[in-house]
Amino acid sequence: MVRILLIEDDPSVRAGVALGLRRRGHEVRAAETGEVGLTVLSEFCPDLVLLDLMLPRMNGVQVCHKIRETSQLPIIMLTARGDDFDVVVGLEAGADDYVVKPATIGVVEARVKAVLRRLIDTADHVEIEFHDALAIDRIGLTVAKNGERLLLAPSELKLLLYLSASPERVFSRQQLLEHVWDHSYHADARLVDACVRRLRRKIEDVSGSPRYIQTVRGFGYRFGPL
């Protein structure tokens, strides 16, 4: 049973999504504001958060930033509009995926399953790989830089594991969407670009060009030469 925290201020949407997910066997707690949601978060210990972007007072971006200060809990943003500003702001705040409302409960559940599914097969890899200052533990699913453990969101960790498993191989955005986000349909490449930017801020040196997550113009991304 997946424990889901739903933070949504619209009563009808909140009731409909919560009921639909419960009927599919999930345990759901719902909150109408960001402040209440953060309180429930500490008590409920969910597996995933469904977070409305347009909340009153403390909006979804602020809530997402607050969660990301201490947790790598999976977060899916719910947005009433699919425009560039809403989507990019939500992803840059640390969300792993997003759903544009109105959406069927089937779509919501599919995104939940995709975010929670472990996509990386670690069986054929050594436990810890060292890339100079970067240490990647494929068994414990942790990453450290200069000996300090990094707090990575699930999408960031999955992206790093996938790219680093094949150093110097170039992956298109569509390939990354299929393997990291489990989106086999024509999905939004902004998921990839936003995740790359967030990941670079955590693992790359501030000065100089990215060493680990490199852009190959016109093609996609690769994990840099060892």
Spatial CB neighbours of 204, under 8 Å, sequence gap ≥ 6: 210, 211, 212, 213
Residue 36: what pLDDT? 96
The count of other CB atoms within 10 Å of the CB of residue 10 is 16
CATH fold, domain 128-223, is Arc Repressor Mutant, subunit A (1.10.10)
Residue 78: what pLDDT? 92
Kindly list the domain boundaries of the chain, sorted by start residue.
Answer: 3-116, 128-223
Residue 183: what pLDDT? 66
The count of other CB atoms within 10 Å of the CB of residue 60 is 27
Residue-wise pLDDT for 23-75, tens only, equals: 999 999 999 999 999 999 999 989 999 999 989 989 999 999 999 988 888 99
How far is Cα 85 from Cα 107, in angstroms, rounded to an integer?
Answer: 22
How far is Cα 148 from Cα 68, in angstroms, rounded to an integer?
Answer: 17
Strands 148-149 and 213-216 come out as: unpaired
How far is Cα 93 from Cα 61, in angstroms, rounded to an integer?
Answer: 6
Residue 169: what pLDDT? 92
The answer to whether the 3-116 and 128-223 domains have the same CATH topology is no
Residue 187: what pLDDT? 63
Q: Which segments within 12-127 are labelled E, that is strand?
A: 27-31, 48-52, 75-79, 97-100
The count of other CB atoms within 10 Å of the CB of residue 208 is 7
How far is Cα 45 from Cα 40, in angstroms, rounded to an integer?
Answer: 8
Residue 122: what pLDDT? 38
User: Which of 142, 143, 137 lies closest to 125 in space, CA to CA?
Assistant: 137
Residue 100: what pLDDT? 87
Residue 113: what pLDDT? 84
| pTM of the predicted protein model | 0.74
Mean pLDDT of the chain: 86
Q: Which stretches of the chain drop beneath a pLDDT of 50? A: 118-126
The count of other CB atoms within 10 Å of the CB of residue 75 is 28
Task: Determine whether domain 3-116 maps to CATH 3.40.50.2300.
Answer: yes
